Structure 1
Amino acid sequence: MNPEESQIQPAKRWNSLWLLLVVFTGFLIFGFSENSKGPALPRMQADFSLSEWQIGLLLSLNSLGYLLACSFTIVLTNKLGLRFTMLMAFGSMAISGLFMYLSYNYAALSASYFLMYVGNGILEIGLALLTARIFVKNTGMMMNLSHFFYGLSSIVAPLFASMLMGLHLFDMTLSWGGMYLVMLSLAIIPMIPALFASFPKDTVPVEERVSYVSYMKDPAAWLIVGILSFGVVSELAVGGWLVNFLEKAYEWTPTAAAGMLSAFFVCFTAARLILGPVTDRIGFIKSLIIFSGSSGLFTVAAIVTGEPGAFLFALAGIGIAPIYPTVMAYLARYYSRNSDTAITFTVTMMGIACIIGNLLIGGITEWTKDLFSNETGSELGLLRGLQAGYLFIALCALLCMVLSVILYRFLNKRGGAL
């Protein structure tokens, strides 16, 4: 090895370290951002006198910010590079925390959430593109490992959020606004390695890239959109609705309900750490079938068995956890030369599904509650409404399994499933 090569090797190692820090800390912040809302939503609902429908509308309309970000992030990345994209994502999230703290009504809260979702959308696309470019070996394991850090922060996010909301400083309580200010300020941390890292570029020539129109003609592309959409709706709905369900259906304390959400994320995180190598060994599509099916069945069992079976809500996290990283690994491997197009299209369509999913959960809960309240009273009506909304979450996981089976058969006919 000549002197020039000996100098290049340490530089490459340092750059790899910086990139890994961006990925891992980025997923940590993503987990805090997404899963602090569980304990916060009931407090927001009480402060602004919001109905279940308005909560669902808040989550759905503000997902438009996420969807908007998905639509322009790939253009942003191509024009200004991944470094600028990542810095913009983290900066948007940090600023949204300040606006959240200053929110004084439902409209201001919605605007703040909108900005946070914009940052989340940019970050999700940016991290997906970055991991697809750097994890070229053991893709399933590395994708699950990086998403493990999302689960890691998701474990402590509900408990940390509950603790911060009850914290007294300068003769005042932080409440949910102060909690978001603190939590989202952490987005400044991953900006540091992002400034030092040299980000990989897309090496596929422009003339060889598949257009969105061509990509949309592939039936497998739409099947994977459905799989990811149902899987992510089921996953993210837990963070938004589980605490609300346990507090109102079973009259759990906020601390106990947040503890069960953290237990869900313990299972969720452990699954991503342990099951990553399994996806590489048994295949991505078979993994999706097994994991999504088990999550749906655990959730149905939790609802049917009532409060004694509440622990099954946590176990459902084992099955739903590997869905997103396994789909990303599939896209990075199956569409290796056009992963930017595949990932951006898939995640954007998923964003639309998340908007519809949150609306449906809120609407189903409200409609069923009103239906049963007229016949059996408001208390039982609320319970039936919450159960119906959560059964829809389970249904999403089971539909994810069904579409995975269809994709597996389709790919086998076409030449083999990954």
Structure 2
Amino acid sequence: MSNLEYKQISRKVFFNNAKYNYILMLLIVFGGFLIFGLSENVRGPAIPVIQNDFQLTQTHLGALLALNSLGYLLACSFTSILANKIGIKWTGITAFLSMTAAGFTIFFSTTFTTLSASFFFLYIGNGMLEIGLGIMAARIFTKNTGMMMNLSHFFYGLSSTVAPIMAASIMGWNGLSGEEFGWRGMYLFILCFSILPIIPSLLGKFPTEKIEEGTVLSFKSLSRDPIAWLIVAILSFGVVSELAVGGWLINYLVKAYQWEITDASHMLSLFFLFFMLSRLLLGPLTDRVGFTKSIMIFSAFSGICNFAAIIIGEKGAILFAVSGAGIALIYPTVMALLAKRYPHGTGTAITFTVTLMGIASVIGNFLIGFIIDFVTKVFSNGDNELIGLQAGYGFIALLALLCSGCCYVLYRIFCNRNELV
């Protein structure tokens, strides 16, 4: 046997080996969530600067974030169909490439219109990636589903923890021309990392979904299932509350307490530190306590922390960060719940749930900005923005409590049917 033939056989054996293929799958899922966390949460330090550069009102800012969610929603509506046609492998690769391209379009944005279009494009890639990663994880993690889903999303929390500090630092870097990177250069630099997970994606063999005859799940059957709608409500309230922190916490601390962007970025990073550690350390508890009960308890904890932080004021700002320990478990645990509840057609269930969650996210982001401006104008004639900011962030806290309340209803239904998950 020649040396070349030996290398070819060794390479074939290596990549066909289930153990090494599983490692490649982990690299894609964990790496994908790392990239996803960065792309989602570098916006915190950038938003006040973008708002100043384009002279945006809070309502305009809310509309921009809502447009982001609209792009995410659009991606959610077609990603499952795309995955069925071209495969989950090429769907993931397409998502990574589109996010990289978005980095360039953001960099060259000179007007609010082109910036809005660029963020819209970025969030199409984000939506494709999140749905794709969810489908991959559901197919790969068939054992200890709750723990592994939370571990996967731990990497989202890990990158989210460093994202605000990293973004604030990169924005101050000087390029070859001597000019600062700013928010444009920062986005380009960060989003170019999206190329990296493509390498294991090209090498790995992706698992396919096993469908038994007569068990095909459809959007029509889900739309008639009250349980499916309750899960949509739970995920919508929980995730809108979670994502709103990345978009509004720094703005709140800067405008309400006159913090420096660097200090506010550190607080957002602390939020994601609690967020990350919760998924790592408390994720395994979800399999033991039960998915439904875990969501109910931890979302209530998050809502209470946020309300307490608003009431106490600047001295209680640390509670904004602590709330991350509760809200962190909502999304991955709902994904685990969907995988167990709908084992034959998990991709369809995830797409149905996350798409409707995307609609709620569009509405939620717009409402937060509108509430801030409306309350400020009505209750202080536009002179005291603090009261508006408190109302807007109070709405974020309320969403977490609504998530817990809906989960309690689902918990009672499951108990009555002896179907507790």
Band the TM-score falls in, shorter-chain normalisation: over 0.9
Name the counterpart of 2:252. 245
Whole-Å separation in 2 of the counterparts to 1:10 and 1:82: 18
Match of 2:303 in 1: 296
Percent of aligned positions that are identical: 55
**Per-residue deviation at 1:175?**
0.5
User: Which of 91, 107, 118 is the equivalent residue of 1:85?
Assistant: 91
Per the alignment, residue 260 of structure 1 pairs with 267
1:337 match: secondary structure? coil
Q: 1:3 — aligned with what?
A: none
Q: Which amino acid aligns with 2:17?
A: A
Preserved CA contact (<8 Å) 2:15 2:203? no
Tell me whether 1:166 sits opposite 2:172 in the alignment.
Answer: yes
Per-residue deviation, 1:208: 3.1
Please tell me whether residue 74 in structure 1 is matched to residue 77 in structure 2: no
2:5 match: none
Count of residues paired in the alignment: 411
Task: Classify the secondary structure of the residue corresponding to 1:172.
Answer: coil
Distance 2:418 2:15 in 1: 40
2:192 counterpart residue number: 185
String of CA shifts for 1:74-113, please: whole Å, max 9, x gaps: 1110010011100010001000011100000100000100
Structure 1 residue 344: deviation in Å? 0.7
Measure the CA separation in 2 of the matches of 1:109 and 1:396: 29
Further displaced range: 98-107 or 208-217: 208-217
Match of 1:389 in 2: 392
Residue equivalent to 2:316: 309
Structure 1: any 5+ residue segments left out of the alignment?
1-5
* Amino acid corresponding to residue 403 of structure 1 in structure 2: C
Give 2:62's match in structure 1, choosing from 40, 52, 56.
Answer: 56
Distance 1:9 1:51, change over 3 A: closer
Partner letter of residue 120 of structure 2?
Answer: F
Give the conservation status (yes or no) of the 8 Å contact 2:82–2:91. Answer: yes
Alignment of 1:66-215 (within 5 A): 66-169=72-175, 170-205=177-212, 208-215=215-222
Give 1:135 deviation, angstroms: 0.3
Cross-structure match for 2:294? 287
1:206 CA displacement: 7.2
Per-residue Cα deviation, 1:160-185 (whole angstroms, up to 9, x for no partner): 00001111122101110000000111
Aligned-pair CA distance for 1:311: 0.3
Shift of 1:32: 0.3
Tell me the residue number matched to 1:39.
Answer: 45
- In structure 1, how many angstroms separate the alpha carbons of the residues matched to 2:330 and 2:240? 11
In 1: Cα distance, 2:206 partner to 2:61 partner: 39
TM norm structure 1? 0.96
Q: Tell me what 2:21 maps to.
A: 15
1:234 to 232, 241, 245: 241
Q: Secondary structure at the match of 2:87?
A: helix
Quick check: 2:15–2:21 contact (8 Å CA) kept in 1? no
Match of 1:373 among 375, 380, 394: 380
CA–CA distance in structure 2, aligned partners of residues 415 and 364 of structure 1: 41
The corresponding residue for 2:6 is none
- Alignment pair present for 1:398 and 2:401: yes
2:281 aligned to 274, 286, 307, which one? Answer: 274
Shift of 1:372: 2.7
Q: Flag structure 2 segments of 5+ consecutive residues without an equivalent.
A: 1-11
Paired with 1:173 and 1:317, the residues of 2 have a C-alpha distance of 32
Read off the aligned partner of 2:344 and give its amino acid letter: R
- TM (norm. structure 2) is 0.95
Secondary structure of the corresponding residue to residue 136 of structure 1: coil
What displacement does 1:373 show? Answer: 2.9
Looking at structure 1, the residues matched to 256 and 213 of structure 2 have their Cα atoms a distance apart, in angstroms, of: 54
Amino acid corresponding to residue 121 of structure 1 in structure 2? G
Instruction: Tell me the distance in 2 between the aligned counterparts of 1:273 and 1:217.
Output: 35
Residue 173 of structure 1 aligns to a residue whose secondary structure is coil
Distance change (3 Å), C-alpha of 1:9 and 1:196: closer
Using the alignment, how far apart are the partners of 1:354 and 1:99 within structure 2? 24
In the other structure, the counterpart of 2:337 is 330
